[in-house]
Amino acid sequence: MNSSLLDLILFSEKRKYFLLLLKEGPKSIEEILEKLQVSRTALLPQIKKLKEENLVIHENEMYRLSLIGEIIVEKMQPLLDTLAVFEKNEDFWAERKLTPIPPNLTKRISELGDYLLIEPDLSHTFDLNPEFVKHLSNSSCIHIFLSYFHPQFPAFFLSLARKGIKISLILSEAVNLRFEEDFKKEEEKFLNMQNTSLFILDKKRIEIPAVISSTDRIMTLGLFNENGKFDNQYVISFDRKAIKWGDDLFKYYRDMSREIKVK
């Protein structure tokens, strides 16, 4: 696609949404105007440009994509979805370390969909994020990876397990050491439950995220910033594709981890 054609498609909201609308199938001008909520005089010049580039065909009072148009629009949607993810919170993404996300999942980052960015609540400075707690507590199955420590984690995960929630937990080596040193009893109780499993990631010299969580209801992602600090900002998404994306990221780290069994 040459630069002028790229500009034609992406640098006009009217042309962009017109093409995406035609992806659904041929449309009459009346349908198009109603769907896009634009005037005929505003849209027709934009359609003319697309027809001149052989992206759109007008016949029998209907507009449809040409074969070239179909190919381009099919490729255009993933790009627009990816841009939407980064544009929604540009500063957040620019300041995060993205290297912990493997290339195959980086390519699928558009699957995060219409996510939310949860920021720290100053009234809960020393507590777990209330949104994080609420959504995990309302789940029936949890896959979670942690590489940062919070003193409320051991009791929190134990309480979730006692509610019958199935939990698969991966800890970084450093976090596991804190559990073993200061919360040995809680860890032993967790391990002795039928609905829990514990893994330790002891790989050295790899970049890791702060938190990954995928449940039957929600995906949660926490990334360290460029200074290596976690500032308690979470990306959360209820989209089914995002949950699958988070589950695949969890499995990526689980495959590099060793399971801890009851002694």
Whether this model's pTM surpasses 0.85: no
Task: Please determine, for residue 1, whether its predicted confidence score (pLDDT) is greater than 60.
Answer: no
CATH classification of 3-80, choosing from 1.20.200.10, 1.10.10.10, 3.40.50.11720, 2.30.30.90? 1.10.10.10
Task: List, in sequence order, the alpha helices (H) in the chain.
Answer: 3-10, 13-22, 29-36, 40-52, 67-88, 90-95, 103-106, 130-137, 153-162, 173-182, 184-191, 240-254
Rounded CA-CA distance 59/162 in Å is: 65
- Sequence-distant (6+) residues with CB within 8 A of 42 are 14
78-118, pLDDT tens digit by residue?
888 999 999 999 999 999 999 999 999 999 999 999 999 98
- For residue 102, the model assigns a pLDDT of 95
- For residue 129, the model assigns a pLDDT of 79
Q: Is 47 helix (H, G, I), strand (E, B) or coil?
A: helix
Determine the average pLDDT of the residues in 175-187.
Answer: 90
The CATH homologous superfamily for domain 89-260 is Endonuclease Chain A (3.30.870.10)
Residue that is written with structure tokens 């809960």 in the block: 124
Taking each continuous run of H as one helix and of E as one strand, the counts in the chain are 12, 10
Mean pLDDT over the full length of the chain? 90
| Residue ranges covered by each domain of the chain | 3-80, 89-260
**Residues 186-195: contacts with CB under 8 Å, at least 24 apart:** 186/154, 186/155, 186/158, 187/154, 189/158, 190/154, 190/157, 190/158, 190/161, 191/260, 191/261, 191/262, 192/262, 193/161, 193/162, 195/161, 195/164, 195/165, 195/166, 195/167
Rounded CA-CA distance 170/258 in Å is: 9
CB 165 within 8 A of CB 142: yes
- For residue 80, the model assigns a pLDDT of 87
182-217, pLDDT tens digit by residue?
898 998 999 999 999 999 998 777 899 999 999 999
Give which of 109, 97, 134 is closest to 246, Cα–Cα: 109
Task: Please determine, for residue 15, whether its predicted confidence score (pLDDT) is greater than 70.
Answer: yes
